[in-house]
Amino acid sequence: MSTASPAARRPLSSTPILRTALVWGGIVTVVLLVAGGVVGFLVAGGGGLASALSGVAVSAIFLAVTAASILIANRWFGDPLYVPIFFGIVLGGWLLKLVLFIVAIVILRGQGWVDPVVFYVALVVSVVASLAVDVVVLLRMRVPSASDVTLPTDPDEGDRRG
């Protein structure tokens, strides 16, 4: 039997925000894959197409890892070890991104089909678009200033002073 209070079993207020950001980020990524692929092909042929698709994909994967790791870590909310579990998972996600980045750069660096300018532009545009999605999602979400808090006189919890 779980020792967590009913309030601790409710989803955190950040969960819908992160899910919405991931969904909209996925939609923007698909749009950028199509647009970047077309522009890359028009600018540099097949290599430009592959470079644009690679740049957008690398950006999307790296930006999604942080939000996904926070969503995964939030599953332990209410557990006495929530804070160390949370930071362990998020730090693990960042370390995974660092290793994946090094591997991606080593693999892509020596490829003849990579157009560095198209790859770079696609990567930067994708990062900026993802950040814009995050800002729009955060500005549109309504989260109270004191979210995820149970007050001692909460009617759902009862008065605990007596």
Q: Into how many domains does the chain fold?
A: 1
**What three-state secondary structure class fits 149?**
coil
- By CB atoms closer than 10 A (0-12, 13-18, 19+), residue 148 is middle
* pLDDT over 70 (residue 161): no
In a domain? residue 141: no
- The model's pLDDT over 89-123, given as tens digits with 9 standing for 90+, comes to 999 999 998 998 889 888 888 888 899 999 999 99
- The model's pLDDT over 32-90, given as tens digits with 9 standing for 90+, comes to 999 999 999 999 999 999 999 999 999 998 888 888 898 899 888 888 898 999 999 99
H helical segments located in 11-146:
14-73, 82-109, 116-140
Q: Whole domain around residue 127: which residue ranges?
A: 13-136
In a domain? residue 155: no
* pLDDT over 50 (residue 6): no
Over residues 20-37, the mean pLDDT reads 93
Contact 50, 114 (CB under 8 A): yes
In a domain? residue 105: yes
In a domain? residue 81: yes
List the one residue out of 143, 152, 145, 115 whose CA is nearest residue 18. Answer: 143
Residue 80 DSSP symbol = T
Query: Would you state the pLDDT for residue 8?
Result: 47
In a domain? residue 151: no
In a domain? residue 159: no
Name residues whose C-beta falls within 8 Å of residue 124's C-beta, 6 or more positions apart in sequence: none
